[in-house]
Chain A
């Protein structure tokens, strides 16, 4: 009776036909050809990605690397006592109110005695940054005894001269179309021939805040702002999201409510950052009255953004811990909490840390959210605490990219380079942490 149900593959004469694999040459050739094609596609895809990345990196480096050097003019400045010390008492107040720009300008004019006309003298003065006197003031404050002597200073050049020295202003375009005139070029060539044009590493770029003048604009404020924002974001989001993930994954009952929460967390990860920015604007600034543009608020908004990412990464890491380890711990009488804290969490740590760092790195490059809470203002000071107004790297890059001055072009690319270095460092940290914590089981 049962035999009738399934008789298996049988031929008419009742003997199963023996099927052999088709080993014909054509078939095998086609198989290898398909495999080669598949590999070729892979190589093409990778090649394309590498090419685009290389193209991006090379343009950015070509445009931006010059920003790490700053052109200066070596001048023999006669430090006139009446000009730099108006009160004449050598007090700090008096020294700070001195007109150092004037002594530097006089030194430059001294090199070009033939320049007399008002307009020409102004054109010559345009070689100097309006912060050119700063080096003189600093040296005088440190050592007032040099007042009245003549000292050699390398003073900050204006952005026009800087661009000219870096070859970013082309000499072959008509005079009317370039910011420096023929006469200025002649002066510049003379200064250069005298060896007075120097190029030094631009440390100020990393220590100062933004400025309207390209040659004085630095990334220091944005870097500090980014650092404070990111630290706030990690300190807030890591504990909250790890706790939430552990509860959801290990303790929460599986029912409708936890399902809804899970779906919403996944949705939250896909919400555009501007929405989080609006939320921060309405709730943190509007309702709680927190300071505008402060890294604290930026960190809070970014932590909202990283929260779902870290929760998802943590849950995945917890799920990946082999059940045999949990069973082993339960088997010797560990309570649920002990199983989680002593065994599961340490094993999930690499995954959690990687998720946290990658989530934070993504948030760091995010500008829309922090724009909304006012981290976009023009801020000259480097923030000292999380409640000071500041900006962050992507926003600073955006602001510079928008500025009309030619000198900001290289700064924009340099900003991108610094930001990429930040990201690479964070991702490298993620890899190192994963290696460090990784264990076999």
Chain B
């Protein structure tokens, strides 16, 4: 191997893998992603523990979103994107050709960086997922799901009188919580969040962080964030990506107090990135 061109992270992968978690909700081994000719991720080995918040941090363009999108096969819809390696959910290979990707996405929900409610009513935004998955056997059951999801996302009190109004008419923070409610309405096991607070003010951010803390009891959460403070506040595990390599991951406390790699050290102290 030409060590001159490859950053040291490539050589570290086995060492990272050796610290695999027993009974992890999701595991990835040697995950590589190419966009056409360009490789965006290099041999990522990462375990996601069940019912905890895992934060993905790293400088812009390092592949955090790319990795996140591998986990629910959202990269499938991008032309020219090729994923290799092995990603498992509860020990089951999610890239198995026999696996139904639609059912996978019902088990792994996603919240995007920019709030993207459907241009439909608030009610229909939440009800859409349960409806296409046949989760409710009638209007009352559906109403129940909608109310429960909005309550869990902390939005119910604000919108309960205007459920028929368009979801796009809400404020940015409300829209993002609507998207979270929409994701949890289909009762996923894992929720992926790609910079969910980047468009929000501190108060809305605090609400969503609080929400993540509550959701952690029932869901496995993976969050991409650019805010060190946020990662430190909400996550139990943190993974640091750099130039397409997973440089280091472990307990959040350990990453932030005593990082092993100097690049991690440099990033969290704000010396580069």
**A interface vs B, CB < 8 Å?**
254, 322, 324-335, 338, 342-343, 347, 439-441
Asked if B119 and A325 make an inter-chain contact with CB atoms under 8 angstroms apart, the answer reads yes
Question: Can you name the residue of chain A whose Cβ is closest to the Cβ of B186?
Answer: A332
A441-B119 in contact given A330-B74, A335-B102, A342-B128 (Cβ < 8 Å):
yes
B172 contacts chain A at the CB level, 8 A cutoff? no
Residues of A within 8 A of B102 (CB): 333-335
Chain B count of residues within 8 A CB distance of the other chain: 29
Asked if B182 and A332 make an inter-chain contact with CB atoms under 8 angstroms apart, the answer reads yes
Residues of B within 8 A of A343 (CB): 118
Besides A326-B77, A333-B102, 16 other CB < 8 A contacts?
A: A254-B79, A324-B112, A325-B119, A328-B112, A328-B118, A330-B105, A331-B72, A331-B110, A332-B128, A333-B103, A334-B132, A335-B102, A342-B128, A342-B132, A343-B118, A441-B119
Asked if A441 and B168 make an inter-chain contact with CB atoms under 8 angstroms apart, the answer reads yes
A180 to B72, CA, bound (A): 88
Chain B residues numbered 104-158 whose CB sits less than 8 Å from any CB in chain A: 104-106, 109-112, 114, 116-119, 128-129, 132-133
Asked if B74 and A332 make an inter-chain contact with CB atoms under 8 angstroms apart, the answer reads no
Residues of B within 8 A of A440 (CB): 119, 166, 168
Asked if B114 and A324 make an inter-chain contact with CB atoms under 8 angstroms apart, the answer reads yes
Asked if A331 and B74 make an inter-chain contact with CB atoms under 8 angstroms apart, the answer reads yes
Residues of A within 8 A of B132 (CB): 332-334, 338, 342
B223 contacts chain A at the CB level, 8 A cutoff? no
B231 contacts chain A at the CB level, 8 A cutoff? no
**B interface vs A, CB < 8 Å?**
72, 74, 77, 79, 102-106, 109-112, 114, 116-119, 128-129, 132-133, 166, 168, 179, 182-183, 185-186
Asked if B118 and A329 make an inter-chain contact with CB atoms under 8 angstroms apart, the answer reads yes
Asked if B183 and A331 make an inter-chain contact with CB atoms under 8 angstroms apart, the answer reads yes
A326–chain B nearest beta-carbon distance, Å: 7
A441 to B120, CA, bound (A): 9
A326 to B133, CA, bound (A): 17
What are 10 inter-chain pairs, A to B, with CB distance below 8 A?
Answer: A327-B74, A327-B116, A330-B77, A331-B105, A331-B183, A333-B104, A334-B102, A334-B129, A338-B132, A439-B119
A333-B129 in contact given A324-B114, A326-B77, A327-B112 (Cβ < 8 Å):
yes
**7 closest pairs, A vs B, by CB?**
A333-B106, A332-B129, A324-B116, A331-B110, A333-B105, A328-B116, A439-B119
Residues of B within 8 A of A329 (CB): 118, 128
Residues of A within 8 A of B183 (CB): 331-332
Question: Can you name the residue of chain B whose Cβ is closest to the Cβ of A334?
Answer: B132
A332-B77 in contact given A338-B132, A440-B119, A440-B166 (Cβ < 8 Å):
no
Residues of B within 8 A of A330 (CB): 74, 77, 105
Residues of B within 8 A of A342 (CB): 128, 132
Residues of B within 8 A of A325 (CB): 116, 118-119
A89 to B129, CA, bound (A): 79
A333 to B101, CA, bound (A): 8
Residues of A within 8 A of B117 (CB): 328
Pick from A254, A334, A338 the residue with the most CB of B within 10 Å. A334
A351–chain B nearest beta-carbon distance, Å: 14
- Of B118, B168, B186, the residue contacting A333 (CB under 8 A) is B186
Question: Can you name the residue of chain B whose Cβ is closest to the Cβ of A332?
Answer: B129
Question: Can you name the residue of chain A whose Cβ is closest to the Cβ of B76?
Answer: A330
A27 to B81, CA, bound (A): 51
A437–chain B nearest beta-carbon distance, Å: 11
A325 to B112, CA, bound (A): 11
Asked if B119 and A347 make an inter-chain contact with CB atoms under 8 angstroms apart, the answer reads yes
A324 to B116, CA, bound (A): 6
Asked if A328 and B179 make an inter-chain contact with CB atoms under 8 angstroms apart, the answer reads yes
Asked if B119 and A332 make an inter-chain contact with CB atoms under 8 angstroms apart, the answer reads no
- Of A322, A324, A332, A439, the residue contacting B105 (CB under 8 A) is A332
Residues of A within 8 A of B110 (CB): 327, 331
Residues of A within 8 A of B185 (CB): 332
Residues of B within 8 A of A334 (CB): 102, 128-129, 132
Pick from B109, B110, B117, B118 the residue with the most CB of A within 10 Å. B118
Residues of B within 8 A of A335 (CB): 102
